[in-house]
A and B are shown apart, each in its own frame.
Chain A
Amino acid sequence: MAVNTPLTATSGRIAETPSQTINRREVVKFTFNGNQYTAYEGDTIASALAAAGVDVFSRSFKYHRPRGLMCATGNCPNCLVQIGDEPNVRACVTPVESQMKVEPQNVFPSLGADLMSMTQMIGRFLPAGFYYKTFIHPRQMWPVYERMLRTAAGLGKVDEESHPGYFDKIYKHADVTIVGGGPAGLKAAQTAAKIGARVLLLEEQPALGGHLRQSTELINGQPAYEYAAALAAEVSQLANVDVMTNTGAFGRYDHNWLGASSGNRLVKVRTGALVVATGAYEIPPLFENNDLPGVMLGSAVSRLIHLWGVRPGKYAVVVSANRRGLQTALDMVKAGVHVSALAEMRAEPDADLIDQLRAHNVEIFTGWTVAEAQGSSHINGVTLRNLTTGATRNFYCDLLVLSTAFLPANGLIYQAGGRFTWSDTLNEFVPAALPDDVFAAGEVSATHTLAEIEREGELAGLQAALAAGLGSEQDRQRADTLAVEVEQHREARQAWSAYGLIQADAKKDFVCFCEDVTRKDVRSTLEEGYDSMELLKRYSTVSMGPCQGKMCNMTAMHVCAHYTGKGIAETGTTTSRPPVTPLSFGALGGRIMEPVRHTPMHEWHVAHGAKVMNAGLWKRPLHYGHPTQEVHAVREHVGLIDVSTLGKLHLHGKDVPALLERMYTNRWQKLNVGQVRYGVMVNEEGIITDDGVTARLSDDFYYMTTTSEGAAAVYEYIEWWLQSGWNFDVHVLNATDLRAAMNLAGPQSCQVLQKITQGVDLSNEAFPYMGAREGTIAGVPALFMRIGFTGELSYEVHVPSGYGLRVWEALIEAGAEFGISPFGVEAQRVLRLEKGHVIVGQDTDGLTNPFEANMDWVVKLDKDNFLGKPSLMMANKAGAQKLLVGFEMPDGTLPEEANQIVRPGSGPIGLEIIGRITSVRRSPTLNKVIGLCWLPTSMSAPGTTFTVRVKGELKTGKVVPLPFYDADGAKLRL
């Protein structure tokens, strides 16, 4: 059926009134479904379209039934539209903006004529969960069927060209946070602020006032919307009240941590106490065709009329079960809607309003409800039914208004661990037990009359402030007195909610509008054994759509209770989860700031052609263009590498040697001042976790280095042992960022150093291999350690990081005449491999102990007490089953790291895995392929050959002794 397209903003409007939030002097143009529309500033997309006579906004998920405005509050799926690259936008709460291009979703081919609605014809064969019972045979066809299902599924579209928007995060701290700026929340804010609490008031709508904004009911002679505005103004002006509108709290987390969404901002709140005054969702009853366009909730009609000045229809029938429904009917009459009939479910409705309605010729049916709506793409009739006799009456209408039930918007309370009980008198859930720092007030706790709502708000504000540690003894007494009053009033409450009819022969009475789940679907699901709310939900998908149960949970429970014969209390609910309202990845991600760590020489590296790599959080040069040449430079002349990323710890105290004895596997009691030693750390399982060198610089000052990525972990680990009972006189300082470090390596390194170093005798006798000296370099105080990861004569120079660049440049300059080359991580990998040095975490893994890694020499099992001792004793006794060895590739093949070593066996392709290559390179120095690999101990002797799988082909490798280069270590000791 075609969609009406009158083009003006005025045709469906009523006269201007003070409650309306639109500015009729500002016209905004936009398009929907390819057609031009005009709106007023302050309109939502939906209110503008409704005013223009649009009645079909979307097609339902499964049956593609036409859907119109139902709640106009953002709680149901009927008005979801696509705006540019943003899918699933709720048109009824989104303000219109100039030139907005709004499109319908999930229509095939169009909103007006959707072929997928033909699925309704075979609807009986497509009950909830139908896909579990079909598409099973033949198995090969499943991918084809699945493609069909996937194409039919989903609502909005992702635009693959969409660019990330700008999003940011705000932190708030409060003593009392109130979610909901209606009368309960405003009163709570007032009382809490009065006691001196810092109050944060969050309201998801553009203005404070809650449901009073759309009400003309008189409060002390004033229309509700005016009363609300005055109260809101008063509260907003309080100095210690922070009001945020357009801010919806979506989640309550541990210890009153709240998440709220405010446009493109994520708001994170830590609050002492929380008041939930979020009101209630008005929900539709069950009846045949309850999803037709033109079927609206009473609150939707109130909002259309009072906020946006839209006449919701011409000929209406109203169904009511509470005072608000009667008031809405009256408002409709005054807005020029012809209300022919009102079905009132209560036996004794509010006489004052009934009389007024009768005076306006509205035919009243007391003790009646709605049984069926008629129409195909818009309602054109309704059948009312007598609740006792079953008698029916039919009426023509283009608008059916339902005000029969509420579901408290209590998601945040559930998330806080609050529990609810079911009240058979009120037909709603009421809070039963709340945490000490969470309070509920108003419609969210099933209280619907204003005086009581405000009283509860006052109490909640008082109690919340007290819970947050404010207030006096007097305030505490006042709270106790007020609590008694509130309780008395709560006991006297009348029901505002009633159930819809359960009609056994109804076919299209929808329980869930998001997923097109009917009462019949629910019944058959229950019958099949999915007879708890959770199983019912998962099988039928009721409440799993965009509304997440707001519109359907209550009805689903009602139907479930009916068919299982249990009460609602025993039936229970599904779990209430954040976010209460969906929010975007963008808002949650914010500005996505990822830390980067630079050494003081970083800019120099970049300026000199470094290819930069990530090494954990650090940026490091992988090479400067020619890693092979860098290797040659180190072996033949001299090279310089930035190793500032190494972990560095200062250890002071008389018990440092004892600490080192415990933390490392080797001996440390007799390290002399001026000596450096290599050490390996294992965890209590005996597994290698880190390695590095530690130097003794004075009697009680030691300098430890760790791997770059292990720095923080080693520091934390040492601190843990020190703080958990080792009574050691040791103080540790994490100096990783305090020192820049660089390694000058090569036969001419000493000559380079000589030129710019003062205060250190660099002769071989005075400063032997594995020595540590302090002096100055280029005038800067420095620590020099003569160690040799690369296998050449080399000095590692540590200086205060502020001078890192200066010293680096000084070394480069001093080394120029010797052909100095900076070298990067890749060259270093090659150099260390040529010496057979292990890289922890690459050559070793999460299960490697030192014996397997051929480091027996670093483990001194006769030490009294050190980390991992029992594990290492046992490993030593058992003997290593596999070993890390050096190898070459006789035929010159270059394997890749992680290639598997195999032998014939019973595996699925006839091969059994017996080891793997962990490091491999073509060595520029030795002109052959060298590497490290794991092999069974029985195959670890030099000369043994093995088979390795390289790119699917089997190649031969040969075990050789380590190191590959300079076996005597003569180069280190030049």
Chain B
Amino acid sequence: MTQLIRQGLNGSKPQQRMWRVHDMKDSYDVVIIGGGAHGLAAAYYLAKHHGITNVAVLEKRYIGHGGSGRNTTIIRSNYLTPEGVLFYDESVKLYQELSQDLNFNVMFSQRGHLTLAHTDSAVRTMRWRAEVNQLQGVDSRLVYPDELAKICPQLDLSDHPRYPIMGALFHPPGGIIRHDAVVWGYARGADERGVHIHQMTEVTGIDVQQGKVAGVQTDRGYIKTGVVLNATAGWCTLIADMAGVRLPITTHPLQACVSEPLKPFLDVVIVSGSLHVYVSQSDRGELVMGASVDPYQSYSMDSTLDFMEGLSGHVLELLPMLSKVKILRQWAGVCDMTPDYSPVMGLTPVEGFLVDVGWGTWGFKASPVSGKRMAEMIATNKTPDLIAPFRLSRFYEDALVGEKGAASVGH
């Protein structure tokens, strides 16, 4: 509030920059590739928790240009595996304090999250998630249509839809957030502690000598460093290729769209696994919507008409009163999809080259915990227990962490 008052009284005096522009040094202790929420959070926690400030964050375009600025802003921890739930729960807890920590309002709104079930097997999966959540101390429970009608009266709970709603996983701590604000808040926090954020700086090569990282080549010069963190999400295999590291990742577009601004209408976040659609209403009044990734590999961030058509049909099945509401804008980002829908975090066969990738469509909500734990890993040289399940080597150890949910096939 004082910031505002000061700004209001200052009138025409220039404002202070959120993050400064620095010349690029020729060496840093740690180079983080990727200026999204994950990379900036890692930089922030390196500085804040571990006093490691000789850090550069290299961002090809402007900070938050990638998934951090394109996602549909949903935060939750109602995952399926115990490892996943614990991990995302730590993230939610960090998000709860983040506005205060960063002194920047990230507008985290824990308004409740519903994952609708339209089949028997989906109900079973929701119960599975509810039970695992509760056993990890996370608030989720299975609800049926009578209670759903009270939580979200706008839902069509009749048997008119092709796949009527049979129940839902209700997760009260889930909600939405102002995604750009998380990027900006972390950037400022890192910057004020001495981290150098270099925007419009593209990495063109990674220098590996005898199996160890020696430096990073950029379009603005070479940086000597012994620690590189790959936090580039959809582009991560392009960076990993530079270091000679293979990743179990394919890049797919994920599309999203917003409606024109409307008076408050929808209080909770709605997700339907069967209909592959999610919708929430932002604090600006727009309905923010998304679906599942495009099936083919692509680095295109263009959106398609089929996406809007499919999404509209499904949204209308859930909320039939929206037929006259209009879609204002559609876009896409690129997602690094893994075989088990869990991330890839930690060491690689190249010493000093760490990854925080494999974030698919589940990355933004994990920004704080990933940043914190990757910073911890870099600073202590030990893999934190919380992220050990997500190691790259698990693909060679047949130890996948299955977050795709139970497959469903019936006779």
A→B interface (CB under 8 Å): 61, 85-88, 106, 122, 124-127, 130-137, 139, 142-143, 146, 149-151, 153-165, 167, 251, 253-254, 257, 259, 266, 268, 415, 504-505, 524, 527-530, 532, 534-535, 538-539, 541, 544-546, 548, 575, 577-579, 582-586, 588-590, 592, 594, 596, 613-616, 643, 646, 690, 707-710, 789, 825, 828, 832, 839-842, 844-847, 871, 874-875, 878, 896-900, 902, 907-909, 911, 913, 916, 949, 952
Contacts and interface: CB of A to CB of B under 8 A. Distances in A.
Contact of B1 (A134, A159, A594, A896): A134
B181 A132 contact: yes
Given A165-B324, A575-B331, A898 B131 contact: yes
Nearest to A258: B305
Given A585-B312, A588-B312, A709 B105 contact: no
Given A545-B261, A898-B125, A596 B162 contact: yes
Contacts of B119: 614
Interface of B: 1, 3-5, 7-9, 11-12, 14-20, 61-65, 69, 82, 86, 96-97, 99-100, 103-105, 107-109, 118-121, 124-125, 127-128, 131-132, 134-137, 153-154, 162-163, 178, 180-181, 184, 199, 259-265, 283-285, 302-305, 308-309, 311-313, 315-317, 320-331, 340, 398, 400, 402, 404-411
Per CB-CB distance, the 9 closest pairs between chain A and chain B, nearest first, are A154-B285, A841-B409, A908-B137, A586-B323, A588-B312, A582-B326, A898-B128, A125-B8, A594-B162
Contacts of B137: 907-909
A708 B324 CA distance: 38
B177 to A, nearest CB: 11
B103 A136 contact: yes
A165 B62 contact: no
Given A137-B100, A151-B264, A594-B162, A708 B410 contact: yes
B326 A88 contact: yes
A643 B20 CA distance: 68
B1 A162 contact: no
A161, A165, A825, A845 pick with most chain B CB within 10 angstroms? A845
A430 to B, nearest CB: 23
Contacts of B181: 132
B411 A646 contact: yes
A74 to B, nearest CB: 12
A156 B262 contact: yes
Given A143-B109, A707-B411, A133 B4 contact: yes
A913 B303 contact: no
Given A532-B62, A846-B407, A167 B3 contact: no
B333 to A, nearest CB: 12
A945 to B, nearest CB: 19
Contacts of A825: 410
Contacts of B15: 524, 527-528
B163 A158 contact: no
A690 B409 contact: yes
6 contacts: A133-B105, A160-B153, A577-B331, A584-B323, A842-B121, A874-B398
B3 A134 contact: yes
B64 A135 contact: no
Contacts of B263: 106, 151, 153-158
Contacts, number: 329
A514 B401 CA distance: 46
Contacts of B400: 847
A871 B135 CA distance: 32
A142 B177 CA distance: 12
B398 A546 contact: no
Given A146-B109, A643-B411, A709-B409, A153 B283 contact: yes
B278 to A, nearest CB: 15
Contact of B328 (A582, A590, A839): A582
Contacts of A907: 82, 135-137
A124 B8 contact: yes
B105 A134 contact: yes
Contact of A583 (B125, B327, B406): B327
A146 B107 contact: yes
B215 to A, nearest CB: 27
B107 A585 contact: no
Given A589-B309, A908-B136, A845 B131 contact: no
B100 A579 contact: no
Given A127-B7, A578-B303, A585-B327, A266 B261 contact: no
A125 B311 CA distance: 40
A909 to B, nearest CB: 6
A88 B163 CA distance: 31
A348 to B, nearest CB: 36
Given A153-B284, A158-B263, A546-B328, A136 B100 contact: yes
Contacts of A541: 284
A158, A254, A875, A911 pick with most chain B CB within 10 angstroms? A158
Contacts of A911: 135
A841 B124 CA distance: 11
B324 A584 contact: yes
B184 A539 contact: yes
A88 B263 CA distance: 11
Given A134-B1, A158-B263, A577 B410 contact: no
A852 to B, nearest CB: 12
B410 A841 contact: yes
